[in-house]
């Protein structure tokens, strides 16, 4: 077991401003995680649901160039999903999704050391049920990681979605969420209170990103906090996915992934977790310093970690 399996949506982001399309870009939160792990030198299999059409083939070319292996059966959708992002005068986007999320059968891949999902794939019918079944099937071999990455525009029944997210948290080993996700999931409690509740549901680690306020993570041994990094922000596209990627990669390097290492993951200490979250925050900072979801490769991240890049800790 030396590979990751990522399950989730891949789509084309269509950017529109003043009634005109200004560009189309490959996107999707799970896709970004798959590509990010591959750029860090990890073996990755990616199961998705796209069409055998020009947009789908563009996605295939993109992930193959990144070293990701597309799982057989991923190109059976009637059309490739899209997300129309309409920008206002301030550059803020409103999204309209055109996506059909389905999965069929079991991927023909070796048991992974880590299995990841999140975002649309975890809550959108009918594929969310198949996604949950697959992750349950891989739980005996793999560490299971999850990022809710809420897309409220696609959620018809908020209570049902919140219930599904809670069931995901119960079955996962590592959960990462943004403070924005948490405000949507539970507007009556603070991110710290929600994270503590989630940790009690079963995960070994719950990590929370808070934009320029940094990040924190909880484990049985305690809570760690990491400051944001000072960086010239180009845009925040893919920032959370980069953090999730860095989190998985750092835990992989510690040797605590895989079902047989679940006891070691559960006993992770605050010093080790601090280093893991710092690595994740660095991956995120490098991504926001570049346009689009352009996650760093290992050489770029190692150089930044060694102090040869432009990133500095924010003053306390």
Q: Where are the domains of the chain?
A: 4-308
In this prediction the pTM is 0.92
The average pLDDT across 227-231 equals 84
> How confident is the model at residue 309, as a pLDDT?
58
> How confident is the model at residue 308, as a pLDDT?
63
Nearest to 103 by CA among 9, 1, 224, 5: 9
CA–CA distance from 3 to each of 48, 150, 276, 282, 287 (Å)?
Answer: 17, 26, 19, 23, 23
> How confident is the model at residue 204, as a pLDDT?
98
**Of 72 and 307, the one with more pLDDT:** 72
Token representation of residue 49: 């649901």
pLDDT at 314 over 50: no
**Of 235 and 249, the one with more pLDDT:** 249
CATH number of 4-308: 3.40.1190.20
pLDDT at 160 over 60: yes
What is the band of 145 on the pLDDT scale with cuts at 50, 70, 90?
very high
What is the band of 316 on the pLDDT scale with cuts at 50, 70, 90?
very low
Q: How far apart are CA 65 and CA 59, in angstroms?
A: 10
The average pLDDT across 261-279 equals 97
Mean pLDDT lowest for which of 90-94, 114-118, 220-224, 286-290? 90-94
């Amino acid at each position: 077991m030396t590979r990751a399996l990522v399950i989730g949506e891949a789509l084309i982001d269509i950017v529109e401003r003043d009634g005109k399309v200004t560009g189309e870009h490959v996107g999707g939160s799970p896709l970004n995680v798959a590509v990010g792990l591959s750029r860090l030198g990890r073996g990755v299999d990616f199961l998705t649901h796209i069409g055998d059409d020009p947009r789908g083939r563009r996605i295939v070319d993109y992930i193959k160039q990144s070293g990701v292996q597309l799982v057989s059966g991923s190109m059976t959708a009637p059309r490739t999903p899209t997300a129309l992002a309409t920008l206002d005068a301030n550059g803020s986007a409103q999204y309209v999704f055109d996506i059909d999320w389905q999965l069929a059968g079991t991927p023909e891949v070796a048991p992974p050391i880590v299995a990841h999902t999140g975002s649309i794939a975890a809550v959108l019918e009918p594929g969310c049920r198949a996604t949950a079944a697959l992750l349950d099937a891989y739980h005996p071999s793999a560490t299971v990681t999850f990022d809710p990455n809420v897309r409220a525009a696609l959620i018809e029944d908020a209570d049902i979605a919140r219930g599904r997210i809670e069931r995901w948290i119960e079955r996962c080993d590592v959960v990462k969420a943004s403070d924005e996700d948490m405000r949507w999931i539970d507007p009556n409690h603070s991110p710290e209170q929600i994270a503590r509740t989630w940790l009690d549901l079963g995960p070994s680690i719950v990590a929370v990103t808070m934009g320029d306020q940094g990040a924190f993570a909880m484990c049985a041994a305690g809570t760690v906090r990491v400051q944001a990094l000072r960086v010239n922000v180009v845009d925040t596209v893919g920032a959370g996915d980069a953090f999730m990627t860095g989190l998985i990669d750092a835990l992989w390097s510690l040797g605590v992934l895989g079902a047989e290492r679940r006891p070691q993951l559960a006993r992770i200490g605050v010093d080790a977790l601090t280093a893991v979250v710092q690595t994740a925050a660095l991956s995120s900072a490098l991504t926001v310093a570049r346009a689009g979801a352009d996650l760093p490769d290992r050489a770029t991240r190692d150089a930044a970690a060694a102090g040869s890049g432009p990133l500095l800790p924010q003053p306390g």
